[in-house]
Structures are given as C-alpha cells and as structure tokens.
Structure 1
C-alpha cells in the first residue's frame, strides 16, 4: 500500500516512522522550515528530518494547494496526516485511491480543532486518546474508524500527554492501516450533539489572575506546560509558571478562593528555575 504522509512536529514522528517501516511511503509533506529562537536560525521540521533520514521525497509548500499537480501525478492509496498544520482542500483529499485519513489527538467527537490535548487537561478530563478518522472539508468532522484511549493521571502536563499520545498512535497505526487495506473496518459518524471544540490557545488565555480559582490556576499550569506557558504578571513583567505544589511549599500567589504555591518559574529572558533558586538575589 502506497502512502503519502503529511505532518510537521515531533508529535507526528513516531507514528510516521512506524508507517515508513511497514508500508511504501512515496512522499512526505511538511511545513516550510522557519526561523526560531533568539538567533532566528532556520530550523528543519522534525518530520523533514525524519524524511531525510529515510531518503523520502519531501514537499514543503507554503500552501499545500501549490503541489496539487505533483500529487495528482503520483500513484498512492492513502494520504495520512498528523498535526500537519494546514488546511487541505477537497481536491487533494480526493486524490488517494483509498482514503485521506488523519490521526487526531482526542477521542472524537470531543475536541475538534488545534489544541485537543491542552483542553483535555484544562477541563480536568480523566481520559483522552487518539482517533483515526476520514478527512473531509470541515475540520475534524469526518467519520471515525479506530480509537485508542489512555487515562490522564493527576499531575500530567500537556507536554507529557503529547509524548504518551504519540506513542499510542505509533503502537496502533500499523495494525489500523493493515485492517483498512484488508477492508476490516467500519465507519462511525460523529454524533453532532457530542461535538466540542479546542481552538488554538491564545497568549491572553494563559494569564493566571487573582480572579481565577485554585483549580482553574492549577489546571492552566498543567495544560499550558510547556507551551504556550501559564504566566503571572508582576511589576509589568511576565513570569512563566511551570509547576506548583499542594502543600503550601513555594511562592504564594493569591487567587479568588485562596492561594496557589509556585515551585518552578521562569523570568523573562531567563531559564526556568526551582523557586528557592529563583528567589536567591531576586526582588520578586
């Protein structure tokens, strides 16, 4: 079975490598390389680095529609996306012989959109998972094929859940694609009454203020770690909050119904530090 992959971040790499090792991957599409960090050095996407390791033809269009003619001339059965980061027009979704499929980081129909893992932690969910689904014009609205779930333990951050879910996707994707090739699967429409959304998190949503509750503040710290990063403002400066304690150990920050206790934080332009080290010589 010939497959074209489309993805960009580290989250895609494990499952894509499984696909490369078990199927005929004839091309990989990823976002253009972008400048990052203070030095604005151009960094290759993790998926491009994967493609180079295996010598697979790579496409990096600003808009995927730019490579429509090239894709149309290619012979492939499946287009498989995972955290690609671009809207894919219907005429490209129609190209594969079998299907255009997406690996989504939630148990659909819950949390369609760009930030499903963030929202599962922000809302205090007890479980999340991976859904393999058909791609349609409407974002994340296609029929579901397979799911795999996992608990969200107390203290789990978005960063940790990204790693867990990427491993779950990698553990299942070969079996799922084999079943699709053999026709051993069903399609399950998403129940409209159960649909919820997880739009991209804005920086403004990450501020912990005195109007937040303890629970809200703690969930924000976990949900926005490591990115975009929950923060508090102090003397006009933004301090990123990475961890907290439940036992009144740490820097106290008063909120609506009590206090949270910050155990790890990061000053502007500095590295993250445990609170005791942070307070040495600090006027915080």
Structure 2
C-alpha cells in the first residue's frame, strides 16, 4: 500500500513520522517554502524538513488543483492528510483507490475548519480529541472512521494541547491504516456541525468573565496571541488562570503586580492572573519576573478595546 502524505505545520510532523515508520510513503505533499522571521528567510515547512531527512520525495505546488501531474506520477493507493492547508478537489480525491483519510484535531462534527484546537479552548470545553475521517469534497464533512477523546487541562494552551493531540493523531491514523489494509472499515456519517475560523491577534476585553478571558488567552498562545495595553505598555499574554477575587473594582484594574502575587487583573466577573507575558520588544517571561520591572503597579488599569 503506497501512501501519499499531505501536511505542513509542526502539528503534522508526529503524524508523518508515525506513518513513515510503519508504512510506505511514496511522496509528501506540503505547502511551498515561505519567508519566516524578521529577515524573511525562505523556510521549508516542518513536514518538508522531516520528509527530506528521510529521503522521501516532496511535492510543493502553489495550487494543487492547477498541477496534479506530479501527484499522479507518484502513484499512491491512498492519501493521508493532516493540516495540509489546501482544499482537495473531487478530481484529487478520485485519484486514490483506497481513499483520502484526514486527521482532524477535534471531535467532529464539532469545530470543522482551520483552528479546531483554539476553538475548543476558547469555548471552555473540558475535552476535545482527534477524528480520522474519509475526506469528501466538503470542509471536514467526510464520514468518521476513528475517534479518540483528550481532556483539556486548565493550564493548556493551543500549543500544549496541539502537542498532545498530534501524538494521539499519530497513533490513531496508524490504527486506521492497519484496518484499511484488512478491509475493516466501518464509517459513521456526521451530523450537523460547527465551523471555526482562522484565529487572529486579539486585544483582551477584561470586561468579559474571567474564565472567558483566560480561555481566550490560552486559545491564542503561542500565536497569534492575545494582548493587553495600558497607556504606552503593550503586553503579549501567553498563559493565564482564573483566581479568586472579591474586590469590586472596574474591569481591567491591576489587583496585584508583585513577585509574590504575580500579575492579577480584575475582569467583568472575577479575576485572572496573567502567568506568562512578553512586553513589546522584550522576552517572554513569567509574570513574577515581569512585575520586577516596575512597569505596572496595583491600581493601574488596562485599556478596553475600541470596538
């Protein structure tokens, strides 16, 4: 069984590595090299780097639908996709006798689309998971094959939860491929679902409940990040947790800014501690280290977003 693997970001690398260890990958399909960093250096995707290290041929069409010749020439029986980044046309799906199988980081039909991990955290879900589906022409609407649940910890960010889910996805797709080889395929149709959109950098609205503020911060970490402003200070926020608070002060008020207590901010309901932050132009650090800078004090107030 010759497999074509399609994937791009770091999330897909453990899935690729697991498939490469146990099955025959004929070629890898990934997004073109992109400029990265301040110097805009042209950089291959994490999946491309992993494929090159194994000596597996790599295909990088800018628009797959416009150039299927190389993919046809690779001659795969089956395709595995994981965060590839392009929609597959029906013509592409029809190329593979054993189907196209996608590793999606949610419990479908919830959170179809581009940012399922962030969406689950932002919604305050207590669990999410991975679903392997047989891809159809829709957006993550194919019939479900295998599914595994994963709890979301209070301190999980999109980054840490993605790492957990990618390992689950790696295990799940290998199990799926073994079943496909045996012809042991039982599919379940999806019901009505929800679609999540790509995340964007967002200013924190501290008038929202503390649990919602914490979830927003964690859902956007490590990128594109939530941020807060207080006058000339811009603070990127990487992690947060809800803390007890009985002080009736305006939302956005700094309740604590010390090495002992950390950086605590009043919300519309309760308070959050911003446990990991980065001042603009500075380094990412624990809130206790930031508080030593003296840039914020008890009683200061963060700005509200301009809607």
Q: What TM-score range do you get, normalising by the shorter chain?
A: over 0.9
1:148-178 per-residue CA deviation (whole Å, 9 max, x = no partner) reads: 1111122211111111011111122222101
TM-score (norm 2): 0.86
Q: Measure the CA separation in 2 of the matches of 1:186 and 1:43.
A: 40
- In 2, the alpha carbon distance for the partners of 1:18 and 1:267 equals 38
Q: Return closer, same or farther for 1:27/1:277 CA change in 2, 3 Å cut-off.
A: same
- Give the match for residue 217 of structure 1: 213
TM-score, L = length of structure 1: 0.93
> For residues 7-65 of structure 1, what are the alpha-carbon distances to aligned partners after superposition, in whole Å with 9 as ceiling and x for unaligned?
00111111111111221111101111111111212221110011111111101111112
Flag structure 2 segments of 5+ consecutive residues without an equivalent: 245-255, 297-307
CA RMSD of aligned residues (A): 1.6
Q: Structure 1 233/66 Cα, relative in aligned 2: closer, same or farther at 3 Å?
A: same
Report the structure, 1 or 2, having the larger helix content: 1
Shift of 1:188: 0.7
Secondary structure of 1:73's counterpart equals: helix
From 172, 175, 195, the counterpart of 1:197: 195
Q: How does 1:1-284 map to 2 (within 5 A)?
A: 1-192=1-192, 195-203=193-201, 206-245=202-241, 246=243, 249-284=261-296
**Is 2:225–2:236's contact at 8 Å kept on the other side of the alignment?**
yes
Distance 1:274 1:228, change over 3 A: same
Paired residues, number: 280
Look at both structures and tell me which one has the larger radius of gyration over its CA atoms: 2
Tell me, which stretches of 5 or more residues in structure 1 are unaligned? none
Q: Which runs of 4+ in 1 moved over 4 A?
A: none
